[in-house]
Amino acid sequence: MRLAHITRIAAVAAAVVLAATACGDQSSSLGGSSGAAPSVAQGASFPAGSTMEALNKAQTIRVGTKYDQPLFGLKGLDGNPAGFDVEISKIIAAKLGIPADKITFTEAPSAVREEVIEQNRVDMVVATYTINDKRKERISFAGPYYVAGQDLMVKSDNTTITGPDSLRAANAKVCSVSGSTPSENIKKYIDPANLTLFDVYSKCADALRTGQVDVVTTDNVILTGLIEQSNGAFKLVNHKFTEEPYGIGIKKGDVAFCEFIDQTLKEAEADGSYKAAWDSTVGKVTPEVPPLPAAGACS
Ligand code: GLU
């Protein structure tokens, strides 16, 4: 504990941030691909009664994320998730005065994301979570912090699937995840009997590997992570056919927390921590740092 505390103080000085990472501070305990921990706000004060004040006082935050999505949220052998969503969570926690090692991560598969927020089992969900109106009926979103797009993944030797319009003619068996936007979007391109839904994408990747399905569909960046891990077995069709703006899910109507997160993201872009989060995760495969998208209205 004491060592971690000293390391955190050291991390406040930009000059030693890299050194702290090299020595393996709390960022390495969050998994191999995590970057330098963002500077933790010291002595920050927040409006009385706000979520920010409560979290700062509690000195911990509960975050729902994915555990099987390389580059965004992948649980490491040390038990902690690593990836861009994890880094975004750390940036927000740091602004709340909460160090990375005080974040409690919980797995939040696609279908349970609204539920875990509604049931107050997490304070926020950062989990490749597309902002849309249907979800906004139950929760609120800060962000977006990234915009992905739905695509298809096939075996590397597949030449018949060229985009969603080729799926019907090929009578392709398609896999996606329950409660995800891609599982809904794909329905207009295929016979429902050809759609298999699991709870997590790694199961779809397994089904593709064993030939039980011909195609996995979800956001291009999630597929990129699975392809990265496939040893050349899978490829991206590279025909993006939707826009998936990733937001941070929070309790419905918490406008002040939403505005705080949006402001934090803006500052993270300005001070380089957004870029560092990207570079240490998705950037290892897709080096170009995306611009931070304009924030949506908080409601
Ligand atoms: N971004 C899409 C969604 O929120 C797909 C990725 C996922 O299931 O997490 O549904």
What is the structure's pLDDT at 39?
A: 87
Contact 248, 143 (CB under 8 A): yes
Residue 98 has pLDDT above 70, yes or no: yes
Give distance in angstroms: CA of 133 to centre of ligand 1: 14
pLDDT band at 18 (very low <50, low <70, confident <90, very high): very low
In a domain, 173, yes or no: yes
In a domain, 298, yes or no: no
- At position 105, the amino acid (one-letter code) is F
Question: Positive or negative, the Cα torsion across 196, 198, 201, 205?
Answer: negative
Give distance in angstroms: CA of 97 to centre of ligand 1: 29
Residue 41 burial by Cβ neighbours in a 10 Å radius (0-12, 13-18, 19+): middle
Instruction: Give the position, in ligand 1's atom list, of the atom nearest the Cα of 181.
Output: 10
In a domain, 84, yes or no: yes
Instruction: Give the position, in ligand 1's atom list, of the atom nearest the Cα of 66.
Output: 9
Strands (E), the chain: 61-65, 68-69, 73-75, 81-82, 103-107, 124-130, 139-148, 150-155, 174-177, 195-198, 215-219, 234-236, 244-251
Query: Does residue 155 sit in the same domain as residue 217?
Result: yes
Query: Does residue 172 sit in the same domain as residue 102?
Result: no
Across 34-41, average pLDDT: 71
Query: Does residue 123 sit in the same domain as residue 156?
Result: no
Across 190-209, average pLDDT: 98
Residue 14 has pLDDT above 80, yes or no: no
Give distance in angstroms: CA of 15 to centre of ligand 1: 37
Contact 298, 258 (CB under 8 A): yes
Number of domains observed in the structure of the chain: 2
pLDDT band at 38 (very low <50, low <70, confident <90, very high): confident
Range of the domain at 226: 150-236
Nearest CA to ligand 1 atom 6: 128
pLDDT band at 44 (very low <50, low <70, confident <90, very high): confident
Query: Does residue 17 sit in the same domain as residue 141?
Result: yes
In a domain, 1, yes or no: no
Query: Does residue 15 sit in the same domain as residue 115?
Result: yes
Q: In 3D, which of 94, 124, 97, 101 has the Cα closest to residue 277?
A: 94
Query: Does residue 138 sit in the same domain as residue 192?
Result: no
Q: In 3D, which of 28, 31, 21, 24 has the Cα closest to residue 77?
A: 31
Nearest CA to ligand 1 atom 9: 128
105 vs 27, higher pLDDT: 105
The span from the CA of 113 to the CA of 62, in Å, is 13
What is the structure's pLDDT at 24?
A: 30
Ranges 41-50, 150-159, 171-180, 268-277: which has the least confidence: 41-50
pLDDT band at 101 (very low <50, low <70, confident <90, very high): very high
Contact 149, 244 (CB under 8 A): yes
In a domain, 291, yes or no: no
The span from the CA of 98 to the CA of 217, in Å, is 36
In a domain, 228, yes or no: yes
Query: Does residue 22 sit in the same domain as residue 140?
Result: yes
Query: Does residue 29 sit in the same domain as residue 174?
Result: no
In a domain, 218, yes or no: yes
Across 236-244, average pLDDT: 98
pLDDT band at 37 (very low <50, low <70, confident <90, very high): low
Give distance in angstroms: CA of 58 to centre of ligand 1: 30
